[in-house]
Each structure stands twice: as C-alpha cells, then as structure tokens.
Structure 1
C-alpha cells in the first residue's frame, strides 16, 4: 500500500489521477460518514462527498502534512455539509433514505442510520480510525500507516471508539449485543 505522502506527491507532482483515485478509495467512507453526521440525508451526503473530493483535488498542494489527509478531508466535508444544510434544509422522510432504484446505492436502514449517527458523534481522531477499520476493512497496521500514528495509538483509539459506540447505541435502543467487525454488516443485534 502506498503511503499518503507518495500518493499526494504523485498527484501534485505528476497530476497522477490514479493516485488521486486511490486517495478517494481510501477516504471515501470517512468523508461520507462525516457528511452523513451533518445531513442525515442520503442524496445530500453523496453530493457533499463528491464536492469534498473536488475541492481536495484543487487544493491538495495546500496540505502541509500528508499524514493528516483524513482529518483535512473531514474538515472539508463538515464545512461543505454545513453549507449544504444552511442553503437547503433537508426535509426528506426516513423512508427515502433507501433508494431502491439506484443499483450502486448502499442501502441505509434505520439500524445503519443509528450506527452512522453514533460514528459521526465520535471525536474526529476516533471517527477516522473507526471508519478505516470497520467500514473500509483496513488492518490496524494499515491504519497506522495511513494516519501516521503508532500501532498502539490506533489500537487505543479503536478501543475507546468501540466503547463509546456501544454506550451510545445501547442508550439509543435496547440492544443485547453490538457487533463491529470489518467483514460484517453494521447492525445492532
């Protein structure tokens, strides 16, 4: 796996679009989760996610620390989501969050919405590692490389995030067991 530094150098130095595509793949779910936390609307979240990466592509040279790209993208996504919310109040009912006609759309049911809301409320450093681990399926070592943090720090942040999520989800609904695993669906059982 290429480091963030190498990918960003390839994009800014050679305008390597494949390198930028790898950045998008690496951080798309994180950006989507941040936008969802602000908007709670599937289509608006998709729009903000796309806008975030367009802005990032134009401004990538401004990023001083390649290891902070996840945080930087999160800030852009949050700002764009807040702007979207101010411009256009979201008034769609929960039923519209499951777009059945869009084959590429990921279904967002009520349990998923509850989990996404809980993840969006995590502190930013915990949100980043949680999305990379449980939504994108990266190993702890890969997350350490992506974020530029020691493995022990990533492990501790994941542990704290899981505990926060369990408390949040248990307070939200009467849940007997919560499963967070990179290869499973994200539903409370």
Structure 2
C-alpha cells in the first residue's frame, strides 16, 4: 500500500479519532496534518509494520500528548468549539438542552489527564481492547486498565453532583 492509498482510505477515521482526543476539530486537523507529515517521512518503515494504521494512530496519539508540552504560543484558543460537523445529531426535546449537555461532557473530558482521555477514546470511541490500547499508547495493559478505571471514577465523581444539582427544585 502506498502512502497516498493509506491517506485516501484512513484519513477521515484518523480525523474523527483526533477530534475525540482534542475536543476541537481545528486542533484535530492540525494533529492529523502533523502526523501525516511525519508518517510520509517514515512511510517505508510504517508500511513494513504488521498494522500500519495502528502505527499511525500511535503516532497521532503521541502528537496529541506532545501538544501541551510545546510553546504556549501554539496553544492559543480563539473561540468556542463547534463539533456538530463531526458528531451525529441525536433527538432531544430542546436543542439548547442538548448543546448544554454536550458542552458539559466536553468539559468533564477536558479535565482528564491526556493519557486517561486517550485511553477512554480508544476504548469507547474506537472500540479497541485493552491489549490494542496498550499497543497504541505504548504502555503495559495494566497501566491502560488503571487509566481507564481512574478516568471513569473521575467522571462518575463529576457527573454525580451535576445530576444531583439538576434534580433539585
């Protein structure tokens, strides 16, 4: 498979994965672009790997992890996030309630450490097993399970008080 064939076949899936990691489609596009530049430079090595997509997905995850380690100049956010273009709409009684709920979920996910968020996205969005997640993140399976467990515990702790607040008259 050539690099061009790989990009044509997998670019949209990589972009969706990046949106779930970054929470922002513009940042996701930057992550994918940076990853594709790196992948093109190493394409012979990647093409020789057993699973090129997983190799590139690991590269993308590492670029995401490195995003916050760089200069503060690269992290300026100019406006809010509109993920409607990448997320499927669902039926809700009031459109504003649905937007508020979605925004709150993004806030909760944004508070998670990068590794925990990546593990959750790989598990629940990409549908990977613990072993596959460990391979993508380059960590032992036990570490992946720990990150997922901690992330879910953190989300439960955040969601509980929010639900209690919403139920009070």
TM-score of the superposed pair, with normalisation by structure 1: 0.57
Match of 1:132 among 102, 110, 122: 122
CA-to-aligned-CA distance 1:55-97 (integer Å, 9 cap, x gap): 22123348xxx685213234348979724x2xxx3268xxxx5
Aligned length: 141
SS at match of 2:164: coil
Give the corresponding residue for 2:132. Answer: 142
Aligned 1:51-70 pairs, distance under 5 A: 51-60=30-39, 61=41, 69=59, 70=61
Higher deviation after alignment, 14-23 or 49-58: 14-23
User: What is aligned with 1:15?
Assistant: 3
How far is 1:117 from its partner? 1.6
1:73 to 64, 74, 78: 64
CA distance 1:21–1:49, shift in 2 (3 Å): farther
- Could you say what the CA RMSD is over the residues aligned between the two structures, in angstroms? 3.7
Q: Note the residue ranges of structure 2 that are not aligned, 5 or more in a row.
A: 43-54, 90-97
Q: 2: CA distance between counterparts of 1:140 and 1:160?
A: 15
> Hey, which bits of structure 1, 4+ residues long, moved more than 6 A?
77-81
**Cα distance 1:174–1:135, how it changes in 2: closer, same or farther (>3 A)?**
farther
Q: Which has the greater radius of gyration?
A: 2
User: Offset of 1:27 from its aligned partner?
Assistant: 6.9
TM-score under structure 2 normalisation?
0.62
